[in-house]
Amino acid sequence: KEFATPSIPSSVAGNVAIPSRLGNCEVSAIGDWAFRYCDKVTSVSIPEGVISIGESAFEGCSSLQAVTFPSSMIALGNFSFYNCSSLKCVLFKDDVILLGSYAFCGCTSLESITFAGNEPAVGNYAFYICNNLNKVNITDLSAWCKISFYNTLRHSHFECKNTLCSILLYFV
């Protein structure tokens, strides 16, 4: 069954733990616009079993600092973390398949992204205006060659786990 996701009141604050169940239903997705503009949320705990985050789900959560995705996560919608200006680090524990367009656009404090599994297909401008992004941990550099980091990377270090490469990029 598919259920409509209610919008969470913008007064929600602090650490938010998404439950793994609501009544008799397992939580498998965070819907479109669910936490949009909840600017007092500082962290989100996403349980195993959640496979997707909808469009603009955390857009404008300007106090959100860190997100760790469960290994069950496979897709982030367009604009899912758009303008989360305090977000500093992102960890994907396993294979994520898709990062939507503008997924982390405007995350001006974002410093590092780690993909423990295979790299996803990445939409346009997923990391646009991530001015402090300086470390991306990936397993296969060739999968990232077509991703635009326009107006993003400055003095950045890419680490490749399963290949023999370590690339230091300097953009002035």
- pLDDT category at 169 given cuts 50, 70, 90 is very low
Mean pLDDT lowest among 33-47, 52-66, 138-152, 154-168:
154-168
Q: What value does the mean pLDDT of the chain take?
A: 81
Q: Where are the beta strands (DSSP E) in the chain?
A: 13-17, 21-22, 25-26, 29-30, 40-45, 52-53, 66-69, 75-76, 89-92, 98-99, 112-115, 121-122, 135-138, 156-160, 166-169
Backbone angles phi, psi at 150, to 5 degrees: -50, 135
pLDDT of residue 152: 58
Q: What percent of the chain has pLDDT over 70?
A: 76
The pLDDT tens digits of the residues spanning 27-38 come to 999 999 999 999
pLDDT of residue 155: 45
- pLDDT category at 149 given cuts 50, 70, 90 is low
Backbone angles phi, psi at 100, to 5 degrees: -70, 165
pLDDT of residue 86: 98
Comparing 141 with 24, which gets the higher pLDDT?
Answer: 24
| pLDDT over 90 at 162, yes or no | no
The pLDDT tens digits of the residues spanning 41-97 come to 999 999 999 999 999 999 999 999 988 899 999 999 999 999 999 999 998 888 888
For residue 110, with 0-12 CB atoms within 10 Å meaning exposed, 13-18 middle and 19 or more buried, which class applies?
buried
